Every structure is written in C-alpha cells, then in structure tokens.
C-alpha cells in the first residue's frame, strides 16, 4: 500500500497466567516514543487459564498461542510468527521506559555488525538497598537479560535459531551464541523495571540459573531445564 511504512521491530512478551501484571506491561509498550508504524507487540500465551487473554485483547494487542509449555517455546513462537528485522523480548512483570523501543533501534543502526542489544534491570518491589546490591551484580555482568534484550533476525537465523533444549538461562546462551556471529551492545542506560518476585520466592531457581551459566560457559550445555511459575 502506498505510504505504508514497514515495521522494523517486534516486541515479544511471553505470558502464562499474568492477569495481575500484564496490563501495566502493555501500557508501557504501547506508549512508546517510537513511531507506532515502526513496531508491533505480540503476546505469546503459554496456555493461560486466567484473564490474561481477555486483558491483552482489550488492549488491542496481537496475541498468539503456544501450546508447548515453557519459556523457550514461547519466545521461539514469537520469532516464528514475526517478520521484522529486529526482535525484542520482555516479560509481563516488566515496565519499560517510553524510549525503550527507540533506543533499541538506534543501537542497531550504529553498525551492521551489532547483532544483539541488552540493557539493565531495576526492581520496583524491593527495598532500595536490595536493589542497589542487585545493580552492582548486574554491573559486572555483560550478558543480555532475557526481559531486556533484542536481536537481529538475520544473526539469529545464521546461528540456527533458539535451541528448544535450553529453557532456564536461555538468555545467557543467546548472548554466547550471538557473540560468535557479531557484536553485542550492552547499554546500561537501557533500564527496565521488573518484579523481584522470583528473587524473593524461588532461591532454588536463581541458584540453578547461575549454575547453568557456568555449565554453558564451560561445556555449552545446561544442567537444568525447568523453573517454577512465580505469580503474585
């Protein structure tokens, strides 16, 4: 159609029973400074049984189903059903800043060899001292966090896509793989607010995540696959 602008960025949001938080996440994604003709939001529903689907529909956001349970299957589905040059990922318990999508696209335009963009996280539901400690840990980490990252589709295809056998710590795996085909830009000013619910309620899954990080670095294989669904 004459005058139509091709979208450049797809934002993927995997969800499972997120009726309490999905609305605020989508509001932050809808109210971006980036021209709405340049990006789309796709929610991937991973078999929710609550009001998540209804809320997403009321927001006018596209929703797709992934019947296979698991975070990795949901984000793979998002890649499959989208067709833009760049793909960003965030989670239902996140609130992104108004310039998030715009900054992601700007980062990719710096150089054609930038294949991934990642930012940093801040918790909105813990005491400041806990958040400050977490920020220090993140400062030392150069990996892309799964709820604040974006990839170049061509690079993702070149590395064979996302491995469905890696669920927990798949964001770290993506970082390792993408670094073999290009550069990753970690923008510390690209800050996403997220919930600390998993940190508070599932020490076990956090420990397994970091064990996987070590295992993936050493042997390229994870030791753990599943992680629990933590809901407020």
CATH number at 135 reads 3.90.550.10
Residues 52 and 117: their CA atoms lie apart, in Å, by 28
Q: Between vectors from CA 193 to CA 188 and to CA 194, what angle results, nearest 5°?
A: 120
Taken in order 180, 78, 58, 4, is the CA torsion positive or negative? positive
In tens, the pLDDT along 61-86 reads 999 999 999 999 999 999 999 999 99
In tens, the pLDDT along 129-173 reads 888 887 777 666 678 999 999 999 999 999 999 999 999 999 999
Is the CB of residue 222 less than 8 Å from the CB of residue 168? yes
Residues 151 and 173: their CA atoms lie apart, in Å, by 13
Mean pLDDT of 93-121: 96
For the chain, what is the mean pLDDT? 92
110 within domain boundaries: yes
The tally of domains found in the chain comes to: 1
124 within domain boundaries: yes
Domain that holds residue 187: 9-195
pLDDT at position 28 is 99
75 within domain boundaries: yes
| pLDDT interval class at 1 (50, 70, 90) | very low
CA distances from 96 to 11, 141, 149, 192 (A): 11, 20, 11, 5
Q: Is the pLDDT of residue 228 over 80?
A: no
pLDDT at position 169 is 93
181 within domain boundaries: yes
93 within domain boundaries: yes
CA distances from 7 to 39, 145, 161, 210 (A): 5, 24, 21, 36
Is the CB of residue 212 less than 8 Å from the CB of residue 223? yes
212 within domain boundaries: no
Residue corresponding to tokens 């930012």: 119
pTM above 0.75, yes or no: yes
Secondary structure element (H or E) that encloses residue 10, with its range? strand 9-15
85 within domain boundaries: yes
In tens, the pLDDT along 31-60 reads 999 999 999 999 999 999 999 999 999 999
69 within domain boundaries: yes
pLDDT at position 188 is 87
């Amino acid at each position: 159609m004459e005058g139509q602008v091709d979208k450049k960025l797809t934002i993927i949001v995997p969800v499972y029973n997120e009726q309490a938080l999905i609305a605020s996440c989508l509001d932050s994604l809808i109210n971006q400074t980036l021209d709405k003709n340049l990006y789309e939001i796709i929610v991937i529903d991973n078999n929710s049984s609550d009001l998540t689907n209804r809320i997403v529909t009321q927001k006018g956001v596209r929703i797709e189903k992934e019947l296979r349970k698991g975070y990795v299957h949901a984000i793979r589905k998002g890649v499959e059903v989208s067709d833009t040059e760049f793909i960003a990922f965030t989670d239902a318990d996140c609130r992104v800043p108004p310039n998030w999508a715009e900054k992601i696209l700007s980062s990719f335009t710096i150089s054609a060899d930038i294949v991934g963009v990642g930012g940093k996280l801040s918790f909105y539901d813990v005491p400041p001292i806990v958040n400050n400690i977490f920020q220090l840990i993140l400062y030392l980490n150069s990996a892309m966090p799964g709820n604040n990252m974006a990839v170049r589709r061509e690079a993702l295809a070149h590395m064979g896509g996302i491995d469905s056998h890696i669920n927990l710590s798949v964001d770290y795996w993506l970082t390792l793989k993408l670094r073999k085909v290009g550069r990753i830009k970690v923008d510390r000013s690209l800050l996403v607010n997220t919930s600390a619910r998993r940190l508070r309620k599932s020490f076990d899954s956090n420990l397994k995540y970091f064990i996987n990080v070590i295992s993936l670095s050493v042997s390229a294989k994870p030791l753990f696959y599943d992680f629990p669904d933590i809901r407020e």
